[in-house]
Amino acid sequence: MKTTLFKNGTVVTPSGPERISVLIEGPKIVALDPAIHSKADDIVDARGLYLLPGVVDDQVHFREPGLTHKEDLAHATRACAKGGITSFLEMPNTDPTTTTVQRLHEKLAIAAGKCLVNYGFYIGATPTNVAELATAKRTPGIKIFIGSSTGDLLVDDQDALERIFAETNLPICAHCEDETTVRSNQARLAGAADVATHSKVRDHQAAVIATRRAIDLATRHRHQFHILHVSTADEIPLIRSAPHWVTAEVCPHYLLFSVDDYGRLGSLIKMNPSIKTRVDNAALWQALLDGIVRVIATDHAPHTLQEKALPYPQCPSGLPAVENSLALMLNQVNSGRCTLPQVVSWMCQAPAEIWHLQGKGKIEVGYDADLVLVDMNLALTIRNEEQQTKSRWSPWHGETLTGWPVRTWVMGQEVFRREGERLWFGAANAGQEIRFHPDRANRTRA
């Protein structure tokens, strides 16, 4: 099998940054050693660069099947490779929705041979599909929309929620915004044409009520549970006092955008949950630094610019982010807000652990050779026209970030290289179906 030796770089291992060499053979990391001078088929001189484990993005919407005018697996996984994301877990609100084992297997078959990076797909909960949720295996877990968002997936009924937590053994994650609160705010604010209204419709209360409700379910049923895209300061105390089997994540847009940005960006930052205030931004940062929120994911949710230009409230919610999320965080490292090992923990190691991914999230012997080489000194400006996502825009268009992925490997195969202005992409079948620890069912019940 082909061997590649990475030398002269700084490698971010679970013990921190180290000046060591890394040898990979085929799809695996086979040696970490300061003294490897062995011959290899390929030598990567990583002088001045950092080698990180590939990013695991546990929340993306890639729109295939059914909504491929917005995004598809070919474009989205090129965007991932460029952004340093080597594994993604995709949400079930495609068309058709991924709500049966058969549809899950169909989605896996669609992805086979088409993805530059590794793939996994959630199974979506409905009020009546608990038998499907209980038998699904080739999936990271169950996604519940406790509040509705893009698409029509919704489980709001308490008895249905109790059954899902009681009768299934996969990890569960949820979109937590309270449907009743959102609908009553919607009725009260009907007619408002300003997109900033979105943050009053999907307000702090909506997030807090649903997060509290979901934590209560997970606590009583002792069921592993992950809170997707936390957006408010008010949810942090709930997460802090939740049992250890409850985890949480935040997204770059909840750290970096606030309601003050609606004037500049309008519906481009219309998201569910909504963007909140600068006070919330600061509290979410602190929760990451304190280890209360453990994961950063993108919630990459592309819509076309034409769709986003519709007037409020018709303009859809969601923004694309996979190709810039790592750079956005590396830029924060450069501005002193966090460290590189923290970014690796939030974006690589923690999501791999939480979702029981086999061989992912760390640079360690025996782990998969999913690697990203980053140049912490490279400054680049994000441009819509250079985006690989099929939607071809970014809410960060025009922003210059320092710290970028320059090369990415998936299962030992190079899938992306930046050569100055030129971008090179590898074979579109490098990505593999993600495997989960065989005993994870024993780990999802406390």
Q: Which residues bind ligand DOR (CB under 6 A)?
A: 61, 93, 149-150, 175, 271-272, 299, 301, 317-318
Q: How far is the CB of 150 from ligand DOR (least distance, A)?
A: 3
Which CB atom, from 66 or from 237, has the smaller least distance to ligand DOR? 66
3-state helix, strand, coil in the chain (%, to 5): 35, 25, 45
Q: What is the C-alpha radius of gyration for the chain, rounded to an integer number of angstroms?
A: 21
Q: Give the tokens for residue 323.
A: 């190709």
Which CB atom, from 324 or from 331, has the smaller least distance to ligand DOR? 324
Q: How far is CA 260 from the centre of its chain?
A: 25
Which CB atom, from 280 or from 375, has the smaller least distance to ligand DOR? 280
Please tell me whether the peptide bond between 395 and the residue prior to it is cis, using omega within 30 degrees of 0. no
Q: Residue 337 in 3-state DSSP?
A: coil
* Closest among 262, 345, 330 to 296, alpha carbons compared: 345
Q: Where are the alpha helices (DSSP H) in 168-296?
A: 179-188, 198-201, 204-221, 236-240, 252-256, 262-265, 278-289
Q: How far is the CB of 70 from ligand DOR (least distance, A)?
A: 8
Q: How far is the CB of 276 from ligand DOR (least distance, A)?
A: 13
Which CB atom, from 228 or from 363, has the smaller least distance to ligand DOR? 228
Q: How far is the CB of 268 from ligand DOR (least distance, A)?
A: 12
Which CB atom, from 143 or from 407, has the smaller least distance to ligand DOR? 143
Look at the alpha carbons of 242, 245, 246, 249 in this order and tell me if their dihedral is positive or negative: positive
Which CB atom, from 304 or from 339, has the smaller least distance to ligand DOR? 304
* Closest among 372, 371, 369, 350 to 359, alpha carbons compared: 369
- State the DSSP H helix or E strand holding residue 104, giving kind and residue range, or none if neither: helix 101-111
Q: How far is the CB of 93 from ligand DOR (least distance, A)?
A: 5
Q: How far is the CB of 242 from ligand DOR (least distance, A)?
A: 21
Which CB atom, from 201 or from 301, has the smaller least distance to ligand DOR? 301
Strands (E), 299-431: 371-381, 400-410, 413-419, 422-425
Q: How far is the CB of 226 from ligand DOR (least distance, A)?
A: 14
